[in-house]
Amino acid sequence: MTGDIVPPKQPIDKAYSIASIKACILSPLDLDKLNYNSWSNLFKRFCKTYDVHHHLEAPASTSTAQPDPLHDTNDSLVFMWMYSTISPKLVEMVIDDSTMAHEVWKKLK
């Protein structure tokens, strides 16, 4: 094992090791509680921590950057984080099989 170097975990690698985002975002977004501001601030902070906050914004239409091979996977992760931190009533309002994370974010806003 000498000479084996384990690279440090990247933020997104750590994101996949989270057992439940509900442990970090304790109060789900709920229409009856009118808690969008606190929920969205905490959710954005969580996404920044794991360097996936760009999934909350529509992609630039004229990007010349190399496509991220993990973009769809990471987008699905953010998508699922949102669904697991909103009330069942809101899930029913925004659920759509073809929707990307930034589209769900926009609907919730």
Write the pLDDT tens digit of every residue in 50-77: 889 999 998 877 666 667 778 888 898 8
Tell me what percent of the residues of the chain surpass a pLDDT of 70: 77
Q: Report whether 109 contacts 95 (CB < 8 A).
A: no
Distance (Å, whole) CA 50 – CA 59 = 18
Token output for 18? 């989270």
| pTM as predicted | 0.77
Q: What is the mean pLDDT of the chain?
A: 83
Distance (Å, whole) CA 29 – CA 41 = 11
Q: What's the distance, Cα to Cα, between the start and end of the chain in Å? A: 51
Q: Report whether 92 contacts 46 (CB < 8 A).
A: no
What are the boundaries of each domain within the chain?
29-57+70-109
The pLDDT, as a whole number, for residue 71 is 85
Give residue 97's pLDDT band: very low, low, confident or very high (50, 70, 90): confident
